[in-house]
Amino acid sequence: MSTRKQARRVIVLDTVIKLLASRGLEGVTHRAIDELAELPQGSSSYYFPKKAQLLVETSRHLAELLEKDCDELQVGFAETVAKEGVDSAVDYVAREVISYADNARDLFLARMELTLASARREELADVGEALTAAARRPIEFFLQLISEGHSSMPIETCAALIDGISLMYATGQGPKPTTTQIAAVFRSIL
């Protein structure tokens, strides 16, 4: 695929993420994508003729974006531990989670929309699990490090609590999480 076609394909996928976050699954139409992305009509359907294919590819793209964020968080965590110790690293990750809730709200809401759709639509069956794994990877990585690899630690529970707190905030159903609140969840496994 040419560089131009690949760039346009990414524009389409990024636009689907924005639409999922702002309008939900039903708001994702080829016409809405083309309009929001300011592409000629029919552009998105050229790359993704079927909505199911479009949503599967969007979930893959979203997982890649989440993985990239995870890599950056891991580097920041490692640097903080080396310079300031584990306790400071806990606060660092808590601040990053809160920052993510603000700055990556579209990614979070798009992940939730696609995860819900995967529970209802057979053609999207594997999407939810893959997205949840990608999004939770940095939290699970971090929790495993601070728990020193103890498998008896409630890592899944802590990751789910962070997801729930973030969901409530992202949907306007709860207050903005605080560093103290998120750090307390992390410290609960120490």
| Domains located in the chain, CATH noted | 57-187 (1.10.357)
pLDDT exceeds 90 at position 19: yes
Q: What are phi and psi of 48, to 5 degrees?
A: -140, 85
Contact 66, 137 (CB under 8 A): yes
- CA distance linking residue 82 with residue 165, whole number of Å: 29
The predicted structure's pLDDT at residue 153:
59
pLDDT tens profile 70-127: 777 878 888 888 899 888 888 988 898 888 888 889 998 999 999 999 999 999 999 9
Q: Please, which pLDDT band fits residue 12 given cuts at 50, 70 and 90?
A: very high
- Average pLDDT of 1-6? 85
Q: Please, which pLDDT band fits residue 185 given cuts at 50, 70 and 90?
A: confident
- CA distance linking residue 188 with residue 153, whole number of Å: 9
pTM score of the predicted model: 0.86
Contact 98, 30 (CB under 8 A): no
- CA distance linking residue 79 with residue 84, whole number of Å: 8
pLDDT exceeds 80 at position 66: yes
- Average pLDDT of 39-43? 94
